[in-house]
Amino acid sequence: MDCQEIINQYISSGDTVIPEPEAQKICHQFGISCPATRLVTAAAACLGAAQEIGYPVVIKVASRQIIHKSDVGGVITGIQNSAQLADAYDRLLKNVRERSPQAEIQGVLVQKQAPKGVEVVVGGLCNQQFGPVVMVGLGGIYVEVFKDVAFRLAPLDKAEAGRQLQETRAFKLLQGVRGEKPCDVDALCELIVNTGRLISVLDGIAEIDFNPVFCYPQGCTVVDARMVLKPSIGADRKTKCAAVGLQP
């Protein structure tokens, strides 16, 4: 199944967000690196997936109703072995059921834990006035605290992505501070370009949120990939009719 078929499938089923494993498949088609990830629905499968991927791993809840997983205890990091994983699996499900009882849990994502790097956010959106736009800035929790982001129209080339990056505070961190090695800015610029190409080429994606992206002296990787879909015509019509009390 190609990228557009994945998007069309989820739009037609009324979903608003592409599940992370499928979002990663789209990323890979556009040359965007992500850690190995498996979706499981049982504890035994979780242990098997971790064995296949290799420790350390992270586990994350998979639910259409939960966008910010950490807010409901739906992310556990730093799992080093099978005993820790068995405990973490039960604890994660307990957290989510207590804090978000209305959410339907599709399963648990088992992901290879990426080494820590400089955290940036790379995103994209389809603006009604300007069309596809790509964003970059300080990532992790800092994107909400400092709102240090820069925007460009997409698609764009690596030179323009470099100029965009230089407008952010993240650029100084990427150059290395307090004796740390500088990050691979060229690889990050390529990721920005590929994100712009993705949001420009594919129909049906309203918003892309890669946060955090870990940047290293060699390469960078998208640790959390979220893609929000545009509503289908039918779904959009139902929403508008419901708002004014009419039948679609």
**Three-state secondary structure string covering the chain:** CCHHHHHHHHHHCCCCEECHHHHHHHHHHCCCCCCCEEEECCHHHHHHHHHHHCCCEEEEEECCCCCCHHHHCCEEEEECCHHHHHHHHHHHHHHHHHHCCCCCCCEEEEEECCCCCEEEEEEEEEECCCEEEEEEEECCCHHHHHCCEEEEECCCCHHHHHHHHHCCCHHHHHCCCCCCCCCCHHHHHHHHHHHHHHHHHCCCEEEEEEEEEEECCCCEEECCEEEEECCCHHHHHHHHHHHCCCCC
pLDDT-based confidence at residue 144 (cuts at 50, 70, 90)? low
pLDDT in tens, 38-93: 999 999 999 999 999 999 999 999 998 898 899 999 999 999 999 999 999 999 99
| Residue bearing tokens 């949001």 | 199
Residue 181: count of CB within 10 angstroms of its CB:
10
CB 56 within 8 A of CB 244: no
CATH code of the region 36-113: 3.30.1490.20
pLDDT-based confidence at residue 191 (cuts at 50, 70, 90)? very high
CA dihedral 230, 121, 213, 83 (to 10 degrees): -80
pLDDT of residue 179: 81
Whole-number average pLDDT of the chain: 91
Domain layout of the chain by residue ranges = 1-35+114-248, 36-113
CB 156 within 8 A of CB 131: no
Query: What percentage of the chain carries pLDDT values higher than 70?
Result: 91
pLDDT of residue 156: 98
Tokens of 138: 């300080």
- Sign, CA torsion 22/26/32/36: positive
pLDDT-based confidence at residue 148 (cuts at 50, 70, 90)? confident
Tokens of 232: 């289908």
pLDDT-based confidence at residue 239 (cuts at 50, 70, 90)? very low
pLDDT in tens, 87-120: 999 999 999 999 999 999 999 999 999 999 999 9
Q: What is the model's pTM? A: 0.88
User: Fold match between 1-35+114-248 and 36-113?
Assistant: no
CATH code of the region 1-35+114-248: 3.30.470.20
pLDDT of residue 235: 46
